[in-house]
Amino acid sequence: MDGYTLVRIVETQPPNLVVRPLDEPAATSSCVVVAAAAVVQLASLPPSSAAVDNLVHLGSSGEAGALHCLKRRFLRHHIYTNVGKLLTLLQQYTQPTHVEMPPHVYQVAAAAFEAALRWKLVKLQLNASGKIDGCAVTSYLLEKSRLTRVEGRERNYHIFYQLCANMEHSTAATGEFAFLGQVGATQEDKAAFGVTMAALDALGFTPAEKEGVVAICKGILYLGNVHFHTNELLPQKAYDQVTFPL
């Protein structure tokens, strides 16, 4: 939503305009020169975001006015806005807190939700008398953030450790792969890689497709070791450097 900033035109200097941001306090805001082609002029100042809960009431403000209204409402914690009969929702992503809760019914719900994010769903099967008669485990991928962030001694996805255990020069044990956390590959991972490849065979993957899957997984591991650096000596010509600590 930072594509547009509400400004007031102070002076016209073709082909540029001198503008002053309206979202900043008058005492601290300063004029800036921008290209006239980059300015979308509004017929009128957008009304206060607190007074507009439906974007159709903005009239002819266009995309710039709509984004400004959504931004102002979001900053005031109004995350819902109507667009005619449609409803828009802007909600900031936050990392889970993983805070232990005191004994309470909400603690049970929070624990169940947390367990649901750990790649598998466990279903208990009850018989007619209400006793446990069986169990079914369904594996799935849900929490993408676990790919790039693992807590403490937790493991990332097993395929990464299986790959490292079968590399000619394994680096997983030394912790050189950022995505693998503090846990290294084991002999069980080395054997499990063969089971994974056999499963791909059973699913009908061709040798070329299996090589592609392995290459993508290895690429993800190495991408986790990419670092970006800015040249501070030449800020006007700053550029990014990519390094691969192998």
Task: Check: CB of residue 22 under 8 Å from CB of residue 8.
Answer: yes
- Token pair 């000619």 in the structure block, residue: 168
Mean pLDDT of the chain: 76
Strands 7-13 vs 16-21: parallel, antiparallel or unpaired = antiparallel
Between 244 and 19, the more confident residue is 19
* 182-232: pLDDT as tens digits: 677 777 888 899 999 999 999 999 999 999 999 999 898 888 888 877 666
Q: Does residue 14 have a pLDDT over 90?
A: no
Kindly state the tokens that stand for 159. 């395929």
Q: How far apart, in whole angstroms, are the C-alpha atoms of residue 139 and residue 159?
A: 14
Between 44 and 7, the more confident residue is 7
Please tell me the predicted confidence (pLDDT) of residue 177. 82
Please tell me the predicted confidence (pLDDT) of residue 61. 64
- At residue 174 the predicted structure's pLDDT band, cuts being 50, 70 and 90, is very low
Q: Does residue 244 have a pLDDT over 60?
A: no
Eight-state DSSP code of residue 54? B
Kindly state the tokens that stand for 38. 């980059």
The half-sphere exposure of 12 on its side-chain side, counting CA atoms within 13 A, is 5
Q: Does residue 160 have a pLDDT over 80?
A: yes
What does pTM read for this prediction?
0.42
Please tell me the predicted confidence (pLDDT) of residue 18. 83
- At residue 55 the predicted structure's pLDDT band, cuts being 50, 70 and 90, is confident
Between 41 and 218, the more confident residue is 218
Helix axes 158-165, 207-223, angle to 10 degrees: 100
- Identify which of 92-96, 142-146, 191-195 has the greatest average pLDDT: 191-195
Task: Check: CB of residue 54 under 8 Å from CB of residue 82.
Answer: yes
Amino acid at 122: V
